[in-house]
Amino acid sequence: MEKKLSKYGYLYILPFFVIFIVFSLYPIFHTLYLSFTKYSGFTDPVWVGFDNYLLVLEDKIFWEAFLNTIRIWGVNIVLQIALALVLVMIFSDLKYKVKGLKIFRIIFYLPNLIAATSVALIFLKLLNQDYGVINKFLFDLNLITESIGWLKSSFLAQLSVSNIQTWMWFGNSFILFMAAVHAVNKEVIEASLIDGAGRFKILLHVKLPLIKPILIYVGITGLIGGLQLFDIPLLISEDGLGSPDGALNTVILYLFNHAFRYHNFGYAAAIAYVLFVIIVIISGVFLLTVNRAEIKENLKKKRIRKMGAKLNEH
Amino acid sequence: MKKFLIIFTALAMFLVLTGCKSKAEDKLVIWSFTDELETSGDIQYFKDNFTGEGQKYEGMKVEFVIVPTADYLTKILPVLRTGKGAPDVFTGELDMVQNFMEADYLADLQTMMENDPDLDYQATKDDFQSYIWESGVDPVDNKLKSLSWQVTPGAILFKTDMAESVWGDEIDFPTDDGVNNYNQAVSDWVSANKFNTLQNLVVSSQEVKDYNVNWRLFPNDDAIRFFAKGSDTASSWLDSDGKISSDKLLEQEIYMNTVKSLYGDTISTSLTANVGEWSGEWFGGIGKDFKDVQGTTYQTMAYSLPTWGLFYVIAPNAEKVDANGNTCTLPENPTDEQQAEFDACEVKGNWGMASGPNSYYWGGTYLNIRKDSEMKDAAYDFVSSMLFDTDRMSSRAANGDVYSRISVMNTIKTDYEGYDVLGGMNHYNTFLAESEKISFDNVTKYDRQLDTLFGKYVTAYKKGESGSATVSEAFNSFYDELKTTYSDIYKSSGLPYQN
């Protein structure tokens, strides 16, 4: 017997869908439309077909921006996860039972709560070559004899932004990892302790495999966020265009400047879609590699089931 | 309960989608990217004189919306396109006005003026600074569509006492005796001898540094960006065929090399102080001095700023001295006593203002009426109260604005007794002389964007970055980006140094 469903239910979920369509779906498709046009924002968009996409693929600066983004993200994600894992190792140690986890959790998470504009201003003050606090500190300690241009060479500027990102986000990863480690059955860890595993071995061979889903989650969200890196480079690069030497020009910063500085909305929209495709591909490859073993297992099971079914047919 | 919930949801959705807005019948909506219409009392003046009891628009509401400059175009363009919730009057800077005109958003102000029985069109036109008037004319139909009440010419504001220390021994450097106004005399001298060409700016920067290793002429090389043109008869970014101009690009080469000669990695190797525009040190230099990381005290002599810069940037930060001539400083978190002591100090009055290699303007707010506005009469009366009511202009002059109306300025200029920050010098004379030299012939709607885009490679060249190590490389990197950014003005051959 079929249960009668109330139609009112649809009404209750309507607001979400209307808002989703208006504020998410429509902009997504409108951007797609714009990416096929030349549009300055002042006059009507003019259809240009795939021209923008061809330009993006040939655009040296776009690909440089992409490499910059990957470099900044790469250093950041390694440092961020390593730092978070070291902290997890310390705070989840069964023997030492470090106190004050709650307070440290808040302290580590605090940088994430500061608005990016403030973070950028703070670091501009800290990193300034002639007037910055860090150089002043190093001078006072007699560690340097000539001031260091933290934001003046490509390498140092990218490294500085990576470190700022790490500082902003390691607390977030730490909290996620900590929650995952807490969910791991303590008996497993105690058993490995009794078997004589050291702290590092427990982290590497017991904790890490058990929190793999969270690691993947942090990896993928970090990747998506990292490829969309924008606010800190915009505010910290001297001209807002990615100086020095274009080293802080990230894909989204390039997109932003095309749209809002040069009034090239069509081209900016095409950049957005190219980046979207790149993110989908990279995330897909990433997921496939880390889950290779599981996928293989699943495929094997499927094949066995299929073979079983075939045998049954005969 | 269920029905109540459904009605509530429907109502909520309706409000969300309609933006909770119901447009009142009689409302004049004004948008601006600055708050000056409010702080200078223009909105209030209109309300008091037009919307009160028994007045022309009795009971009409006036809504004033300020949108920060950075978001202004992003917010105003969609509403201008659709006309929904669009303002009747809106402001814009010169390059925005060019774009508004091209998109045909502006009402024909000229015809409205011609139909105004209380206004003599020709006389009014003659009374406006010509560059302001010309910049508001739509090239398509030759009608005036946008106009500004102010002019914003710039100058090089500098400290006369520092100039005297450095150049006081040179021939004809003015002395105190027998001069009507010392600051004016020094300003005239540096205008003619030190700040008159780009090359001289480099030489002067070197002289200042040679005089005192901790002194700099400019806080940074941004200060000379206004002189990239090098002369008042400079080329336009676009040729008559609408493509990028080779002449303009060649002019830029001189500027690029000037910037490069001023540049140094660190403050000790640089001919400027390497401080960012609007940074704490930049402001510190306006007062007296500032310190670098090694604790060395530096002083800067000159800042390139326009009319508003004198009143809102230099004046509030200028050095103050007590009765004995000692610099007054206000400690952080001052006590009432310290505050009173500081307030009792007087401005030192050591600033002068000189002309640079070419005249320039920075900023300037234009008034526009929307073409499809339903409140055109009221919009015109508002705009008219700011542009054509000369009595109102004169009474508004206290805020320091320099007006685009010649007759108003002539009166103000003559009656003016001198500005204390400038040691009693009459800044109106210099600013008006500068604004008369400004020509609108060379302005294009691409100016701001191309200045930014080219500026990026000027910076890369001065630092010797890869891809821009030589002039030729810098130009070609610029062409590469120009091709993707503005393909319609790009030329694939015939440009300077083009590969």
CA pair distance B302, B193, nearest whole angstrom: 15
DSSP A101-155: HHHHHHHHHHHHHS-HHHHHHHHHHHH-TTT-HHHHHHHHTT--SS---TTTSHH
Please check whether residue A42 touches B, CB under 8 A. Answer: yes
Q: A43 vs B484: CB contact, 8 Å cut-off? A: no
Residue B266 distance to chain A (closest CA, Å): 7
pLDDT at residue A190 in the model: 87
Q: Is B484 close to A132, i.e. CB distance below 8 A? A: no
Q: How many angstroms away from the CA of B456 is the closest CA of chain A? A: 7
Q: Are B82 and B90 in contact (CB under 8 A)?
A: no
A59 vs B2, B266, B484: nearest CB: B484
Per-residue confidence (pLDDT) for residue B144, from 0 to 100: 96
Tens digit of pLDDT for each residue in B248-274?
999 899 999 999 999 998 899 999 999
Instruction: Tell me which chain A residue has its CA closest to the CA of residue B290.
Output: A131
- Distance between CA atoms of residues B108 and B89, nearest Å: 13
Cβ of A130 within 8 Å of Cβ of B17? The answer is no
Contact between B455 and A146 using a beta-carbon 8 Å cutoff: no
Residue A186 vs residues A102, A180, A210: alpha-carbon distances, Å: 20, 12, 12
Closest by Cβ to B460, choosing from A42, A136, A245: A245
Q: What is the mean pLDDT of residues B444-462?
A: 90
Contact: A19, B16; criterion CB under 8 Å: yes
Could you read off the pLDDT of A137-190 as tens digits, one per residue? 999 999 988 889 899 889 999 999 999 999 999 999 999 999 998 888 888 888
Q: Quick check: A42 and B294 CB within 8 A?
A: no
Confidence of residue B448 (pLDDT cuts 50, 70, 90): confident
Report the C-alpha gap between B440 and B364 in whole angstroms.
Answer: 14
> How far away is chain B from the Cα of A136, in angstroms, using its nearest Cα?
5
Q: How far is CA B146 from the centre of its chain?
A: 17
Predicted pLDDT of residue B22: 45
Contacts of A312 (CB under 8 A, 6+ apart): none
Output the DSSP codes for B24-88: -SSEEEEEESSSHHHHTTHHHHHHHHHSSTTSTTTT-EEEEEE--HHHHHHHHHHHHHH-TT--S
- Does A152 contact chain B (CB < 8 Å)? yes
φ, ψ for residue B418, nearest 5 deg: 110, 155
Q: Give the residue from A265, A191, A202 showing the smallest Cα distance to A30.
A: A265
Interface touch A262/B453, C-beta < 8 Å: yes
Q: Contact, B413 vs B150, CB < 8 A?
A: no
What are the tokens at B242?
């609408």
Dihedral pair phi/psi, residue A287, rounded to 5°: -60, -45
User: Bridge partners of B135?
Assistant: none
Q: Which residues share a beta bridge with B327?
A: B321
R_g of chain B, CA atoms, integer Å: 26
Cβ <8 Å between B292 and A40: no
- pLDDT, residue B73, reads 87
Q: What is the mean pLDDT of chain B?
A: 90
For residue A72, the distance in angstroms to the closest alpha carbon of chain B comes to 19
pLDDT in tens, A117-138: 999 999 999 999 888 999 999 9
B9 pLDDT tier (thresholds 50, 70, 90): low
pLDDT for residue B88: 96
> Which residue among A139, A260, A262 sits closest to B293, beta carbon to beta carbon?
A139
Contacts of A17 (CB under 8 A, 6+ apart): none
Whether the per-residue pLDDT at B33 is higher than 50: the answer is: yes
Q: State residue B23's pLDDT score.
A: 46
- Output the pLDDT for position B2: 63
Q: Express as a percent the part of chain A with pLDDT over 90.
A: 55
DSSP state of B326: P
Per domain, the residue ranges of chain A are 64-261
* Identity of the residue in B265, B456, B485 whose CB atom sits nearest the CB atom of A239: B456
Residue A278: burial class (beta carbons within 10 Å; 0-12, 13-18, 19+): middle
Residue B44 confidence (pLDDT) above 50: yes
Contact A36, A266 (CB under 8 A): yes
- DSSP single-letter state for residue A50: T
Give the list of residues 6+ apart from residue B456 with CB closer than 8 angstroms, or none. Answer: A239, A241, A243, B478, B481
- Residue B412, CB-side half-sphere exposure with 13 Å CA sphere: 27
* Beta carbons of B37 and B30 less than 8 angstroms apart: yes
pLDDT score, position B1: 61
Longest dimension (CA), chain B: 94
Residues contacting residue B109 through CB under 8 Å, at least 6 positions apart: B136, B143, B144, B145, B146, B147, B369, B380, B383
φ/ψ (deg, to 5) at B158: -145, 165
B103 with B368: CB under 8 angstroms? no
Residue of A nearest to B81 (CA): A42
pLDDT at B16: 58
pTM for the predicted model, two decimal places: 0.81
**Strand B297-300 relative to strand B215-216, pairing:** parallel
User: Cβ separation of A43 and B16 shorter than 8 Å?
Assistant: no
Are the C-beta atoms of residues B208 and B214 closer than 8 Å to each other?
Answer: no
ipTM: 0.74
pLDDT digits (tens, 9 = 90+) for B287-315: 999 998 888 999 999 999 999 999 889 99
Lowest mean pLDDT among A3-12, B197-206, B306-315, B360-369: A3-12
Q: Do A244 and B463 touch (CB under 8 A)?
A: yes
| pLDDT tens profile B418-435 | 899 999 999 999 999 998
Give the best residue of B447, B454, B485 to mutate against chain A (max A CB count within 10 A): B485
Query: Which of A52, A125, A130 is the mutation pick for testing B, counting most B CBs within 10 A?
Result: A130
What share of chain B has pLDDT > 90, as a percent? 67
Q: Report which residue type is found at A154.
A: S
- Chain B within 8 Å of A263 (Cβ-Cβ)? yes
**Cross-chain residue pair B460–A146, CB shorter than 8 Å:** no
Q: Is A15 in Cβ contact with B5 (below 8 Å)?
A: no
Q: Would you give the distance in Å from CA B425 to the centre of its chain? A: 22
In angstroms, the separation between the Cα of residue B405 and the nearest Cα of chain A is 31
Can you tell me the distance from the alpha carbon of B13 to that of B356, in angstroms, rounded to the nearest whole number?
Answer: 59
CB contact under 8 A, A147 and B456: no
Chain A closest CA to B321's CA: distance in Å?
A: 26
What per-residue confidence (pLDDT) applies to B233?
Answer: 82
Q: How confident is the model at residue B496 (pLDDT cuts 50, 70, 90)?
A: very high
Residue B381 has pLDDT above 90, yes or no: yes
In this prediction, residue B471 carries a pLDDT of: 95
Please report the pLDDT score of residue A3 as a whole number.
64
pLDDT tens track for B78-108: 899 888 889 999 999 988 898 899 889 999 9
Query: Taking CB atoms and an 8 Å limit, are A245 and B465 in contact across chains?
Result: yes
The reply to whether A16 touches chain B by the CB within 8 Å rule is: no
Give the A:B interface size as CB pairs under 8 Å: 102
| Dist. CA B300–CA B220, nearest whole Å | 9
Specify whether the CB–CB gap between B46 and B64 falls below 8 A.
no
A15 touches chain B (CB under 8 A): yes
> Is the CB of A43 less than 8 angstroms away from the CB of B103?
yes
Q: Which of B14, B291, B484 to mutate to test binding with chain A, by most A CBs within 10 Å of its CB?
A: B484
Whether the Cβ atoms of residue B147 and residue B453 lie closer than 8 Å to each other: no
pLDDT of residue B136: 93
Which residues from B are below 8 Å from A18, CB to CB?
13, 16-17
Q: Is the CB of A41 less than 8 angstroms away from the CB of B77? A: yes
What local confidence, expressed as pLDDT, does residue B12 receive? 67
Q: Which residues of chain B does A129 touch, with a Cβ-Cβ cutoff of 8 Å? A: 265-266, 274
Contacts of A40 in chain B (CB under 8 A): 99
Q: Where are the domains of chain B?
A: 19-152+362-418, 154-220+272-354, 225-246+446-499
Nearest to B293 among A131, A244, A262 (CB): A131
Angle at alpha carbon of residue A94, lines to A92 and A100, rounded to 5°:
55
**pLDDT range class, residue B470, cuts 50, 70, 90:** very high
Q: Regarding predicted confidence, which is higher, B299 or A290? A: B299
> B427: closest CA among B394, B392, B397, B402?
B402
Residue B104, token pair as written in the block: 């045909």
Chain B residue numbers with beta carbons less than 8 Å from the beta carbon of A136 are 293-294
Contact yes or no for B99 and A267 at CB 8 A: no
Is residue A7 within 8 angstroms of chain B, CB to CB? no
- Cβ-Cβ contacts under 8 Å for A216 (sequence gap 6 or more): A287, A290, A291
φ, ψ (nearest 5 deg) of residue B127: -85, -10
- Block residue for tokens 């002194």: B215
CB contact under 8 A, A245 and B12: no
Answer whether A258 touches B (CB < 8 Å).
yes
For chain B, percent of residues with pLDDT exceeding 70: 94
State the pLDDT at residue B176.
Answer: 81
A56 compared with A8, residue with greater pLDDT: A56
CB contact under 8 A, B484 and A22: no
Helix (H) or strand (E) holding B428: helix B427-437
Residues of B in contact with A27 (CB under 8 A): none
Q: Under an 8 A CB cutoff, do A42 and B485 touch? A: no
Asked if A59 and B103 come within 8 Å (Cβ–Cβ), the reply is no
State which H helix or E strand residue B367 sits in: strand B366-369
Q: Does A166 touch chain B (CB under 8 A)?
A: no
Range with the lowest mean pLDDT among A32-36, A63-67, A303-307? A303-307
A19 — pLDDT class (breaks 50, 70, 90): very high
Instruction: Give the mean pLDDT of B333-347.
Output: 90
Q: Per-residue pLDDT averaged across B132-159, rounded?
A: 94
Domain A64-261 CATH superfamily? MetI-like (1.10.3720.10)
Q: In this structure, what are the phi and psi dihedrals at residue A136, rounded to the nearest 5 degrees? A: -60, -45
Distance of CA B421 to the CA centre of its chain: 20
Q: Does the distance separating the beta carbons of B267 and A130 come in below 8 Å?
A: yes
pLDDT at residue A260 in the model: 87
Ranges of beta strands (E only) in B108-224 are: 137-138, 143-144, 146-148, 154-159, 215-216
Nearest-10 Cα torsion for A234, A240, A241, A246: -70
Spell A165-174 as b/e; 16+ CB within 10 A means b.
bbbbbbbbbb
Query: pLDDT tier at B6 (50, 70, 90 boundaries)?
Result: low
pLDDT at residue number B18: 57
Which of 1.10.4030.10, 3.10.20.30, 3.40.190.10, 3.30.70.580 would CATH assign to domain B19-152+362-418? 3.40.190.10
β-strand pairing of B302-306 with B154-159: antiparallel
CB contact under 8 A, B102 and A42: yes
Give the integer Cα–Cα distance in Å for A123 and A231. Answer: 13
In whole angstroms, give the CA distance from residue B346 to residue A289. 72
